Structure 1
């Protein structure tokens, strides 16, 4: 049964979120500016500002410039009103943070954590870490509004459940949002790790770019695709799974997925490390490969540059199909510097159509290992500040205040 008081209030105040949307840019606004931009009457804007200030998501910002008489009051988004948890899980490590609603990191930690330990162990660590970071940031548990979580595998976006993740035994169809949400008492948003890295890079460093591909090159290889300003997940969350695209030089090489010739089996960090070991160069992990390249080991440099060429074969196809304006290279192997980038650019510019590459930039990630938590933060904050969330919070505020 619908609460009559809430229904009545919503009928009168349906566009509180529209006023708030204007204030999302972080810039201070006067009432007159909000009236002009929204087309609402001054009294309506004032009442909706009052609601937003009571919710804490908007705060007075001082006074504007007077044109004669009393200076107008200014209002702006209050990013410190609430905080969100942001967690990026990798195959063998995890990064967690608490941020404000604008993505400012208030506390952060990075630890070795094997995702193959299973959801019970890993999610327990996530919950304990977010709670600890809240305490260290001097924020109350009630300040936590949501948690964003990235995992290294496909995710069904509508449910937040991992779907047949190849390196996450025990996680298939596991109710990650329900389990973690029950522990922390807030909504939990879950997505593929590369998708949230794409969100983090764009929201923080490339906000003006509407067509972008973020390629993570590490233990596995994947891409987050932003087209027309929106993240493209595909029908079942597998969009951008570059690691299992067949490449011409992969004949006879069996991938861990069971297929032959996958890009990951040729250009992924473990594959490069294995070839270096075969050549007598000690390299056990992707991190070892990166350190060898940074140290000037010629065999490692040669292998990484060739891996860039293999990657370039697939990225060239993506450039023709999706036509991004920027391709960002991140992940642990992306830290190997220009050697990977040189091989990739060589093939992309050779194999793509001239119109697709005329204004294409291929760059290294600026966010680096923070891309995941920045994206997880952006995903969680977007949920907290969505029109639906603002309208619901405003309705609850008014109903609870009614006699």
Structure 2
């Protein structure tokens, strides 16, 4: 969250916008108090932000003599951001406002193993169609956020190492979306954007957060000191391929032996239930059975939670997060899954690391990847630097 400046350099228009966007400043007087700008300088910066369409000022309250008080707000209707959460068998698409709230969504079902050349043109056309459907309400696209499973090269905008998305590694996605918009296109890992989605609203004050995505695969998104952590090569959070004793000798879909995913990932649970003669094809089918009271499905989900908790205990010892967020398809059976997680997490982690630790469900449910992808794009295009560049181009 933006904080008052401590330098002698006058606050820029982008910095003033950051204060308004975060809600720290809602009046010209508050801007002056937080930045030290003169009334004339505040008026000039507010005027440029109003001209850009990012800020509106409305009279509110009752006048006590003279001009009624006016409130400055970020105009979230000044444009839209497009969002795509690409999965192995399904891609979710959305158009969001500039607050990152979803306006309209659409699902694209795809063949498992579809290549970028096959899927990305479909995504581009569906995004264009969604925008046309909204008409005037989607008049200006400020950016696109895309999430992918597995490690992502955020600089090149491509998958770097994903056993789920064969044929996607090293293929930049930007060219496929060039026909949609010339606005910035941001690409990141699915768990990373999901943890960004959690840092909104009541949870934005959590500076140290660990999100677990328990779905077909297992992954994690990490915020430390208020900053998303990707690691040196973007591989931070790949906990699904941590080795545990319970998976000894078992082959993971990544090709290695002994990964926690081989016993706790959704794909492994589905395989195990299929071997029992049950007709299911996806982890969502298993969740449906568990929610309907199926004893075996519930047992498998709780056991998966125990294995996840083993890996989480080491992460909690190392990182000492304030909160662990549980998301992904398996989070629909939250109570059962988390009961298993708590068993091993609290049993194996050191007491000081869990003393005040909270475990909470994801906020946005199945929309998490879409909200997170939009948030990622907006954090880029509405950053202080980006807004300052935009204001400079207006002059």
- TM-score range (shorter-chain normalised) is over 0.9
Partner SS for 1:70: coil
Question: 1:80-105 CA deviation, whole Å, 9 max, x = no partner?
Answer: 11110011111111111111111222
Partner SS for 2:267: helix
Q: Which one of the candidate residues 217, 220, 225 is aligned to 1:220?
A: 217
Partner SS for 2:210: strand
Distance across 2 between alignment mates of 1:380 and 1:344: 32
Q: Which one of the candidate residues 324, 336, 351 is aligned to 2:321?
A: 324
Question: 1:237-285 CA deviation, whole Å, 9 max, x = no partner?
Answer: 1100011000111111011222111011111112112222333333332
Aligned residues: 387
Q: CA deviation at 1:65?
A: 5.2
Taking structure 2 as the reference length, the TM-score comes to 0.93
Distance across 1 between alignment mates of 2:307 and 2:178: 41
Partner SS for 2:81: strand
Q: Which one of the candidate residues 19, 22, 25 is aligned to 2:22?
A: 25
Distance across 2 between alignment mates of 1:205 and 1:192: 24
Note if 1:118 corresponds to 2:88: no
Alpha-carbon contact 1:90-1:115 (below 8 Å) kept: no
Structure 1 117/280 Cα, relative in aligned 2: closer, same or farther at 3 Å? closer
Question: 1:27-81 CA deviation, whole Å, 9 max, x = no partner?
Answer: 7722222111111111111111111101000011224554542224332111111
Q: CA deviation at 1:205?
A: 5.1
Note if 1:100 corresponds to 2:97: yes
Alpha-carbon contact 2:128-2:180 (below 8 Å) kept: no
Distance across 2 between alignment mates of 1:282 and 1:390: 53
Aligned counterparts, 1:173-212, within 5 A: 173-204=170-201, 206-212=203-209
Structure 1 379/115 Cα, relative in aligned 2: closer, same or farther at 3 Å? farther
Partner SS for 2:200: helix
Distance across 2 between alignment mates of 1:117 and 1:94: 11
Distance across 2 between alignment mates of 1:311 and 1:163: 24
Q: CA deviation at 1:307?
A: 1.0
Note if 1:283 corresponds to 2:280: yes
Alpha-carbon contact 2:141-2:183 (below 8 Å) kept: yes
Note if 1:301 corresponds to 2:325: no
Question: 1:326-366 CA deviation, whole Å, 9 max, x = no partner?
Answer: 11111112212322111111110111100111111122223
The answer for the alignment partner of 1:355 in structure 2 is 352
- Any unmatched runs of 5+ in structure 2? 1-8
Partner SS for 2:178: helix
Distance across 2 between alignment mates of 1:216 and 1:303: 17
- Any unmatched runs of 5+ in structure 1? 1-11, 399-403
Alpha-carbon contact 1:157-1:236 (below 8 Å) kept: no
Question: 1:162-201 CA deviation, whole Å, 9 max, x = no partner?
Answer: 1122121221111112432354222100000111111112
Taking structure 1 as the reference length, the TM-score comes to 0.91
Question: 1:268-307 CA deviation, whole Å, 9 max, x = no partner?
Answer: 1121122223333333321221122112221222111111
The answer for the alignment partner of 2:332 in structure 1 is 335
Q: Which one of the candidate residues 226, 231, 237 is aligned to 2:234?
A: 237
Greater shift after overlay, 248-257 or 179-188?
A: 179-188
Alpha-carbon contact 1:107-1:136 (below 8 Å) kept: no
Structure 1 353/324 Cα, relative in aligned 2: closer, same or farther at 3 Å? same
Alpha-carbon contact 2:194-2:369 (below 8 Å) kept: yes
Distance across 2 between alignment mates of 1:229 and 1:161: 25
Distance across 2 between alignment mates of 1:291 and 1:388: 46
Distance across 1 between alignment mates of 2:362 and 2:327: 5
